[in-house]
Structure 1
Amino acid sequence: MNTTLNSSHPNRQIHRFDAHDREIFRGAVVAFVLRGIGAGLAFALNIVIARLLGAEGAGPYFIALSVTVIGSVIVRVGLDNSLLRFVSAGVALQDWGRVRSVFRLAMGVTLASSGALALGLMVFAAPLAAQVFDRPALVGPLRYAGAAIVSFSIMSLLSEALKGLKLIGPSMLVAGALYPLFGLVLIWPMVHLLGPDGASATYFVATALAAAVGWWFWRRGFVTHDTPAVFGWAELWDSCRPLWLMSVVTRAILPWAPVFLLGFWGSGDQAGIFGAATRVALLVSFLLVSVNTILAPKLSELFVRDEVATLRRLANRMTLGLCILTSPLFALLIFQGSAVMRLFGPEFAQGGAVLAILAVGQAVTVASGAAGQILMMTGNERIMGDLSLGACAVLLGLSWLLIPAYGMVGAAIANAVCMAVVNLGALLFSARVLAGMHMPEGAT
């Protein structure tokens, strides 16, 4: 790869960098505003659920939610990241037949896999609740969690596809703002109608509605061309296979396995408090997610166009800005964690230490910036897969040691350590990749 492609035209390079910078800034502002609205709505929804059900009643909801998220990440087999990468590259090259083909393939695989898992979970919800969790109250939430695996998976893929089309506003609405908005509208009547099971039912209906809106946005935004569909499963699987493991660890196991394991080794109120603290801690990194929403397709575009120096400078600048902007929120969660948790109800205030520990793990994620995105968008997915495997082993080992002895505090420590392992590892390897970037064999 020729990293000096534009070195003989410094003015042109600066102009391109400024144009990329402005595009990222404009998109990040849109993403930040919409994700901020979505985060506020989701926070309000969690507060409403916690106050309606209490810590003990919220436990089954958060356990079921962890099943939904973990199950969804498993059935998507890493397709969301690969879909973003290939749609972005196809749009940059104006290869619309390839874009259409990879979208249909990803959706078909996800519908089949999520439907199969959802059916199994619905059928075996009763024995799972009684024999695995020893919580009969989990039967209803587990059944709704199975249905939500389908709706949440499709909603997530549609959001990534919309990012690839550079429809940032619609993408943020679908994945961040619409489902908590629908949830707030539905939560009271659903809980009144179905009791504690109504919270899990609300999540399923809300994500299904958001997915329907996302499909409408995709149909409007896709540019139709009579070009042949040429994308094959082998090429897609080669990209998403290592991303699958990374997604399972970073999106499912790291944030949600502790809630799941507290269902075995802890009490119902601990699972509820930890679940609420997890949702709050994610606020630290929501700005990172907002920026990465814009940055990921741009990184793929710059990589395809051989503009490595621009890619490097853009990623560094975004990371510095993120660290500065998120530091006040990080400080709030560290020093006023109990006060923040008290918003969920007086019994949640004991989760202040848990929130502080989880916030440290999220702060490390923010400090790593776009490291993971750089690896994934430049064809180095296998590095992220290896890092994720190591982090998973650390999480399971620490959880086995700490949760039985220290409950939700032990779960928080295990989570924060593993977040540090995967993100600092990504930071190290992405720096090496950028220092001597080359086009991986078979990368597009």
Structure 2
Amino acid sequence: MITGLRNMDSDGREMIRSAGLAFTLRGLGAGLAFAFNVALARLLGAEGAGLYFTALSVVALATIVVRMGLDNAMLRLIAANVAEGNWPRALGVYGLGMRAVAILSLATSVALAVSAPLLADHIFAKPEVTLPLRVMSLAVFTFSMMMLGATCLKAIKHIRDAMLVSGVIYPLVGLVLIWPLASQFGPAGACLAYLLGTGLSAGIGHIVWTRSRPAGAPDFAVGPDLRQSAAPLWLMTVITTGVMPWAPLLLLGIWGTTEEAGLYGAANRLSLLVSFFLVAVNTVVAPHFAALYKQGKMAKLKRTVQRASVLILTLSSPMLLVLLVANSCVMSLFGPEFAKGGTALAILAVGQAVSAAVGSVNLLLMMSGHEREARNTALIGVVVMLACAVTLIPAWGLIGAATATSAGVICVNLSALCYVRVRLGFLTLPFWPGGKAAQ
């Protein structure tokens, strides 16, 4: 491995350096988010945490809908146009995307705040969800602006700034504020801490983008390209980052207990530690994928993809082992009553392990203009997940929710791997059949 690093070209060394920075900032953000969740669990207990996660699940689904698939569409188009020196079109993508999401997310925030009592009474049959949901509803706007701002910074390879905006600032602010706010106002106070953290991050992201962009007028003629790319990605994003992670929690909130919802919310967040390195590496390689494909450099694209995949798999394996062997101990960090969620954590970790093993398959499809194929993988996964959820959650509760989530994640990633092989002609790991070691 050391010899491989010595022989690596400048692009490979740049990827390693950028990935190292992403790992560091992602690790800091994950640590802050973990501390926030521990503080939440300690202050509110399983039932109070369940109310928080229930409100968060509604808002998370809403933010994914209002972003309309623009995250990855904006990332691809801005990165590709900047690579060709066409900043006016890149600025046009930013202006059109941010404006559309701002309008829709504000309207959705108001609608959720007004309808919170109806949702609490008639959907969840838990009137105590009303106030947390009403407070959290405003985060539809702040979180959406935060994530789009970070995506645009990522597209122009401002990795440090993108990671700070999307993963460090808001959990840090939330952690500082949760103790006084949750102690005083309970679950609604925890929601307020989240709202203020995402709002500050969104504002900082906009300031950094404004200072990073060159002077010049945006070219809004890019609108049709943006819509064409975003349309299939909207459905895919709604499914993979909205329905699949949050639907089991919503169904558990309806068919299970508030305590089970709290256990699932904590376990699901811990399981994401397995794919921690996948997310960090994706932050670095996404603009490279878009630029290389746009320029037709397929051999270099394959080499970059395979290097990233080997790195992800190598670094993710130790965390998977910990969550499989010591899951109850890890869950007990949230409090003794959370230890019973250990089995659910192990099941969820298996799904994330498959995601890490296949690498950046869906990202690669999106950055190479195969948005419809990426959408199809999401449709396959959500059908499997919903079938499992409807069948298993009423009978098995927490375990059923975890099993349904993992089954869906596995199907999405394996189908995406097949599409990459067919459309791009290679596999993401060099030692699989049909792969060849990247030099």
TM-score by length of 2: 0.94
CA displacement at 1:196 relative to structure 2: 2.2
CA displacement at 1:217 relative to structure 2: 1.1
Question: What residue identity is the alignment partner of 2:417?
Answer: L
Task: Give the structure 2 partner of residue 60 of structure 1.
Answer: 51
Task: Give the structure 2 partner of residue 13 of structure 1.
Answer: none
Task: Give the structure 2 partner of residue 430 of structure 1.
Answer: 420
* 1:243 paired to 2:208: no
Task: Give the structure 1 partner of residue 393 of structure 2.
Answer: 403
Task: Give the structure 1 partner of residue 206 of structure 2.
Answer: 215
* 1:109 paired to 2:96: no
Q: Does the CA contact (< 8 Å) of 2:120 and 2:127 recur in 1?
A: yes
Q: Does the CA contact (< 8 Å) of 1:165 and 1:222 recur in 2?
A: no
CA displacement at 1:232 relative to structure 2: 3.6
More moved, 79-88 vs 194-203: 194-203
Task: Give the structure 2 partner of residue 98 of structure 1.
Answer: 89
Task: Give the structure 1 partner of residue 432 of structure 2.
Answer: none
Q: Does the CA contact (< 8 Å) of 1:17 and 1:310 recur in 2?
A: no
Q: Does the CA contact (< 8 Å) of 2:328 and 2:339 recur in 1?
A: yes
In 1, Cα distance between the equivalents of 2:386 and 2:204? 37
After TM superposition, the structure 1 = structure 2 runs for residues 39-188 of structure 1, keeping only pairs within 5 Å, are 39-188=30-179
- Number of positions where the alignment pairs a residue of Structure 1 with one of Structure 2: 422
In 2, Cα distance between the equivalents of 1:173 and 1:260? 30
Task: Give the structure 1 partner of residue 254 of structure 2.
Answer: 264
Please give the secondary structure, in 2, of the residue aligned with 1:231.
Answer: helix
Task: Give the structure 2 partner of residue 351 of structure 1.
Answer: 341
Sequence identity of aligned pairs in percent?
45
CA displacement at 1:195 relative to structure 2: 2.3
After TM superposition, the structure 1 = structure 2 runs for residues 279-290 of structure 1, keeping only pairs within 5 Å, are 279-290=269-280
Residues 232-273 of structure 1: per-residue CA shift (max 9 Å, x gap): 432211101111111112111222211111110110000000
Q: Identify unmatched segments of 5+ residues in structure 1.
A: 1-15, 438-444
Query: Aligned Cα RMSD in Å?
Result: 1.6
In 2, Cα distance between the equivalents of 1:124 and 1:308? 50
CA displacement at 1:436 relative to structure 2: 8.1
Q: Does the CA contact (< 8 Å) of 2:276 and 2:316 recur in 1?
A: no
After TM superposition, the structure 1 = structure 2 runs for residues 323-338 of structure 1, keeping only pairs within 5 Å, are 323-338=313-328
Q: Does the CA contact (< 8 Å) of 1:51 and 1:344 recur in 2?
A: yes
Task: Give the structure 2 partner of residue 11 of structure 1.
Answer: none
* 1:27 paired to 2:18: yes
Task: Give the structure 1 partner of residue 301 of structure 2.
Answer: 311
In 2, Cα distance between the equivalents of 1:228 and 1:179? 30
- Cα distance, 1:231–1:431 mapped onto 2, change above 3 Å: same
In 1, Cα distance between the equivalents of 2:220 and 2:202? 26
Question: What residue identity is the alignment partner of 1:220?
Answer: R
* 1:292 paired to 2:276: no
Question: What residue identity is the alignment partner of 1:47?
Answer: V
Residues 365-385 of structure 1: per-residue CA shift (max 9 Å, x gap): 101101111110111000011
Question: What residue identity is the alignment partner of 2:357?
Answer: A
Return structure 1 stretches of 4+ with deviation > 6 angstroms: none
In 1, Cα distance between the equivalents of 2:359 and 2:154? 19
Residues 34-85 of structure 1: per-residue CA shift (max 9 Å, x gap): 0000000000000000010000111010111111211111110110001111
CA displacement at 1:191 relative to structure 2: 1.4
Please give the secondary structure, in 2, of the residue aligned with 1:389.
Answer: helix
Q: Does the CA contact (< 8 Å) of 1:78 and 1:243 recur in 2?
A: yes
In 1, Cα distance between the equivalents of 2:247 and 2:46? 19
TM-score by length of 1: 0.93
In 2, Cα distance between the equivalents of 1:91 and 1:417? 38
CA displacement at 1:317 relative to structure 2: 1.7
Residues 281-319 of structure 1: per-residue CA shift (max 9 Å, x gap): 111111101101111100111111111001011111211
Of 379, 387, 402 in structure 1, the residue corresponding to residue 369 of structure 2 is: 379
Q: Does the CA contact (< 8 Å) of 2:420 and 2:426 recur in 1?
A: no
Task: Give the structure 1 partner of residue 3 of structure 2.
Answer: none
Residues 372-429 of structure 1: per-residue CA shift (max 9 Å, x gap): 1111011100001111112112111111100000001000000000000001111111
Question: What residue identity is the alignment partner of 1:61?
Answer: Y
Question: What residue identity is the alignment partner of 1:183?
Answer: G
